Every structure is written in structure tokens, then in C-alpha cells.
Amino acid sequence: MTAFISSLLGVSEILILIALGYFLAARHWLGPDSGKIIARIVTQVALPAYMVVTVSSKFTAKQLLTLLPQLRYPLLSMAILGVLSVVVMRLLRVEKRHEGLFCSMFLNSNTVFIGLPVNLALFGAKSLPYVLVYYMANTTIFWTIGVYLIQHDGAHAAHFDLKQTLGKIFSPPLLGFIVGIILVLAKIKLPDFLMSDLNYVGNLTIPGSMFFIGITIYQAGIRKAFQFDKDLLGVLGGRFIAAPIVMSLLLMHAPISPLMKSIFIIQSCMPVMTNAPVVAKLYDADTEFAAIGVASSTVLAMVVIPVVMTFLA
């Protein structure tokens, strides 16, 4: 019960900020383009700064060097989920126009806009390197296999663009993480005034992410978030049931710390990737289905996370 209450309080911090973002969007203080602008500021400015400050100031070279081999766990988990998504898709007889989106949303999770704030609220700054390991795996899978699957639903034949994909994988947040690692390994200390500036900018990450989610839920429509059809229920089952079970089984006897196990399991059952509707729109897939999937899974995640935390305690 203590774990449940603690995680509920952590999630409540996130919910209040999401609700504020929703309220500001509903009052039209934040317009249709505000979400895009905030997302760009968070992912390309605030989050990279946050990565540099946190990694370079809170972790040792030894800690960081032990992390990269752990990429195998989220990668293997998503590979299993990818196969499972196809099986579930066939069993549910998912609509033809949703097949690619269904599989992509089933296996990829929102590791930054929800995953990072939730883990920081639950575990503190010590969770960041483990969050980022999962983020690297998730980002790589989404911008390769996930995007290819979404293209499958569009009007044109799916194709793989290596240059564009590498640009998405080596995104500003990941580059910020890499810069932080280099600073630690090279034992370079940035000037205090620069670290202060990076810290101020990095502090925009959490509220900015939550405002973005609030705006996204408002734009998708809160009522639509609770209109479940079989395709959406299948996606939610993948996110909140299949993903944490698969990850839990993989980590059952893994030689890693309890904290890393908890964070990997929590990251695995995060909501649908917020990029899914953007990519769906780009390739003429069903944008509304993707947007509702993001909204529904985000709202439900606030209930699921305390439950998962209780089992992890």
C-alpha cells in the first residue's frame, strides 16, 4: 500500500501539470500551434540541456560504461512485442487501414514526454541513465520499424530512408546525452555560469512536456479518449499488459540492479508515442486513430503506473 500511495503521489504531480496544459488549451491561451512549438523547445533545447547537466554532474565514468550493454533488454523486449503485435492484430482482425499503426503503437512507448517525468517523480535524478538507455532503444525502433509500419497504412508504398532515420535517432536529446558522457569520460568540467544557464533551460523539460501532453489530449478530445473499439483496446492491451509482462519475464533473473529493473518495466508500459499522430499525418495514415491512442493511453497510464509500482515493490 505504501508503494501504491507513493507512486500515486508521484503521478499526481504529473497529472496536475497535464491538467494545467489542458486547461490553458481549453481557454485558448495555447493555440493549435502551441503544442508543436513547446514540443520543439523541449526536445531540441530544454531536454538536451537537461541531459548535459544531469549526466555530467551526477554520474561517474564507471556507472556510464556499465549502462550500454543493458540496451539488449529493451531491444529484445520490443522485438518480442513486435511479433506479438502481429499475432494480436490477426486475432482481433484489426482494420486494414490500422494494421501498421496498431503494431507500431503496440510496441513503442512514450519514453520522454511521459516516461522521463514519471521516473523522475518516482525515483529521482538517479533514474536518468536507465531512462535514457530505454529511450535509445525505443527511439531507434520507432524511427526504423515503427515508421515503416505506419507508412504501410498510407496511400503510398512504404520505404526506408536511412538519412532521415539516422537524423531522427541521433536527435538533440540523445546528442545531449552523448555530450554529457564525453564530459564525464574526459573529466571536463564546464564553467559554473554555463552550467547554471543549462540548468535553467533544462528545468523547462518537465513542465513543457506535461503542457504538451495536456494540449495533445485537448486536441484529440477527452471524450474520444474513452471511446474504445477493439483496435484501440488491442493497442492498450499491448501497452499496459503485454509490454510490462514481457519485460518482467526478461528481467526476472537478469544480473542488473533492482532500480534498473523497475525503471525498465515502468518505461515499457508508458503510453503510445506522441510522434505517432505526426508520422501518421505525414504518410496519410489514420491520424485520428493515432491521436486517440495517444490520448487514451496517456490518461489510463496515470492509473496503470501506480498499480505496476505496487507489484514492483
Tens-place pLDDT, residues 228-249: 789 999 999 999 999 999 999 9
Our count of domains for the chain comes to: 1
Most confident of 30-39, 89-98, 120-129: 89-98
Cβ contacts of residue 118 below 8 Å, gap of 6+? 10, 11, 14, 266, 270, 301, 305
Does residue 312 lie in a domain region?
no
Asked if the structure places residue 310 within a domain, the reply is no
Amino acid at 80: I
CA distance 205 to 40: 11
Q: In sequence order, which residues have a C-beta less than 8 Å from that of residue 220 and are 6 or more positions away?
A: 291, 292, 294, 295
Q: Which residue range is the domain that position 249 belongs to?
A: 2-304
Which helix (H) or strand (E) segment holds residue 32: the answer is: none
**CB burial readout 21-49, b (16+ within 10 A) else e:** bbebbeeeebeeebbeebbebbbebbbbb
Average pLDDT over residues 294-298: 87
Residue 290 has pLDDT above 60, yes or no: yes
Backbone angles phi, psi at 223, to 5 degrees: -70, -40
Is residue 124 domain-resident? yes
Which range (49-58, 72-81, 130-139, 169-178) has the least confidence?
Answer: 169-178
Q: Answer whether residue 313 is part of any domain.
A: no
Inside any domain, residue 299 = yes
Whether the per-residue pLDDT at 312 is higher than 80: the answer is no
CATH number at residue 105: 1.20.1530.20
Lowest mean pLDDT among 60-69, 110-119, 210-219, 272-281: 60-69
Q: What is the mean pLDDT of residues 149-177?
A: 72
What radius of gyration do the chain's Cα atoms show? Answer: 19
- 222 is a domain residue: yes
Dihedral angle at the C-alpha atoms of 219, 89, 280, 292, nearest 10 degrees? 0
pLDDT at 158: 55
The label of the residue with cell 507508412 reads 151
5-14, 51-60, 154-163: range with lowest mean pLDDT: 154-163
Say if 309 falls within a structural domain: no
Q: What is the H or E stretch that residue 111 is in?
A: none
Percent of the chain with pLDDT over 70: 93
311 domain-assigned:
no
Per-residue model confidence (pLDDT) at position 168: 67
